[in-house]
Amino acid sequence: MTRLRPEKDSSVALMQAGQRAGETIWVAEPSDLSAGAGGPQVLATEITAEPWYSAKQTCWLPMSHFQHVWMRKDPPVDEAYLYATHLLELAELLGVQVLNRPAGLRAWNEKLGALQFPELMAPTLVASRLELLSSFAKEHGEVVLKPLGGRAGQGVVRASGSAPGLGALLELVTQQQQLPVMIQAFLPEVNDGDKRILLVHGEPLGAVNRKPKAGEFRSNLAVGGQPEATELTERERQICATLRPALIEAGLFFVGIDVIAGHLSEINVTSPTGIREVEQLGGIPIADLTQQLLLQG
């Protein structure tokens, strides 16, 4: 809890909205989950979320005690993360609504999930083989390489298909052709911003444009991107409408998609951010609207 920044973190915004709606807020780590003959349980701490924050009590509770459980943890989606989703599925069997749905979290890698909609994306390839990656880079000239398990722009590299060191770079990022990576055609329009759109139950509730800082092509706020107020274009609304049925079917209640120049880039499902920026710049009470939609079922 001490690592969360109330002025920035979407998780805090959601907890505070829950408290305003009259909910009791409990927090726990994935390592606090357990399951046995008595069913799934959690070692949880009741807190006051607003003002941020004070702890009240810590105790073991059956997961059936809770109506809703938010699973928000930054990547990597490692063994501990995957096991937590399986334990949370046991809570689902008891009628607990887990957000986002554990099966959806496992199935929708934040890079690979977008490949279900290739027609919405810039030219993209996921591969380990150097000849495939090198050929793609030479065809498209300027490209971006993304690790499939990355977050917040970490490890994202811009490269040229004609660069003398391209082969060595591809060997490095694929760990000698053992690890697939995503390669995409570079979109120079990213200098005008990368739009984060927040969808709740498949509906876009707000967005923020993130502009790269000087000398940088990555626009992520975590690496210095600057947030700006923005409106959705017709193309972006079409993207959201195309995604909506699949997101609902997968139980992905709260999602952040990234769009550059009308092209879908990523579908973020583990712990999408941007609530505070949309609230501050757009005047849209995203957290409270999310809570209302949650309570409406």
Residue 218 has pLDDT above 70, yes or no: no
Residue 168: half-sphere exposure toward Cβ, Cα within 13 Å:
3
Give the pTM.
Answer: 0.93
Structure confidence at residue 191 (pLDDT): 87
pLDDT above 70 (res 222): no
* Residue 295 to residue 221: CA distance in whole angstroms: 30
The reply to whether 111 belongs to the active site is yes
Whether residue 106 lies in the annotated active site: no
Q: Considering 101, 195, 218, 276, which one is annotated as catalytic?
A: 218
Single-letter residue type at 114: A
Give percent of the chain with pLDDT exceeding 70. Answer: 94
Options 236, 258, 277, 279, the catalytic residue:
258
**CB neighbours of 209 closer than 8 A, spacing ≥ 6?**
193, 194, 195, 196, 227, 228, 229, 230
pLDDT in tens, 173-216: 999 999 999 999 999 998 888 999 999 999 999 999 998 776 56
Quick: pLDDT tens for 96-140: 999 999 999 999 998 899 999 999 999 999 999 999 999 999 999
What pLDDT does residue 2 have? Answer: 78
With 80 as the cut, is the pLDDT of residue 150 above it? no
Options 101, 111, 151, 195, the catalytic residue: 111
Helices 10-20, 286-296: crossing angle, 10 deg rounding: 60
What does the pLDDT read at residue 296?
87
Is 258 annotated as catalytic? Answer: yes
CA distance 85 to 211: 34
Per annotation, catalytic residue among 196, 220, 276, 279: 196
What per-residue confidence (pLDDT) applies to 155? Answer: 77
* Residue matched to tokens 């096991």: 83
Sequence-distant (6+) residues with CB within 8 A of 65 are none
Whether the per-residue pLDDT at 22 is higher than 90: the answer is: yes
The verdict on whether 109 is a catalytic residue reads: no
pLDDT band at 289 (very low <50, low <70, confident <90, very high): very high
pLDDT at 275: 97
Determine the pLDDT at residue 74.
85
pLDDT in tens, 239-267: 999 999 999 999 999 999 999 999 999 99
- Report pLDDT for 153: 61
Q: Which of 101, 109, 110, 146 is catalytic?
A: 146
Q: How confident is the model at residue 151 (pLDDT cuts 50, 70, 90)?
A: low
Q: Is the pLDDT assigned to residue 83 strictly greater than 70?
A: yes
Q: Is 133 helix (H, G, I), strand (E, B) or coil?
A: helix
Per annotation, catalytic residue among 194, 236, 266, 279:
266
Catalytic residue among 209, 268, 276, 279: 268
- Packing angle, helices 130-140 and 166-173, rounded to 10: 130
What is the pLDDT at residue 225?
A: 67
The pLDDT of 85-90, averaged and rounded, is 98
- For the cut 70, the answer to whether the pLDDT of residue 152 exceeds it is no
Phi/psi of residue 88, nearest 5 degrees: -70, -25
Dig out the tokens for 54 from the structure: 């004070």
DSSP designation for 179: S
Integer angstrom CA distances of residue 68 from 19, 100, 229: 13, 10, 31
Q: What is the pLDDT of residue 243?
A: 98
Confidence of residue 221 (pLDDT cuts 50, 70, 90): low
Q: By CB neighbour count within 10 A (0-12 exposed, 13-18 middle, 19+ buried), where does 245 fall?
A: exposed
pLDDT band of residue 1 (cuts 50, 70, 90) is confident
- Mean pLDDT for the stretch of residues 81-98: 97
Measured distance CA(261)–CA(192) in Å, rounded: 9
Helix/strand/coil for 89: helix
Instruction: Find all residues with CB under 8 Å of 42, minimum gap 6, and list them.
Output: 28, 32, 33, 34, 60, 61, 63
Does 210 qualify as catalytic in the annotation? Answer: yes
Q: Is the pLDDT of residue 220 over 70?
A: no
Q: Which of 151, 210, 220, 276 is catalytic?
A: 210
**Distance of alpha carbon 258 from alpha carbon 241, whole angstroms:** 14
Q: How many CA atoms lie within 13 A of 267 on its CB side?
A: 29
Annotated catalytic, 268?
A: yes
Across the chain, mean pLDDT equals: 93
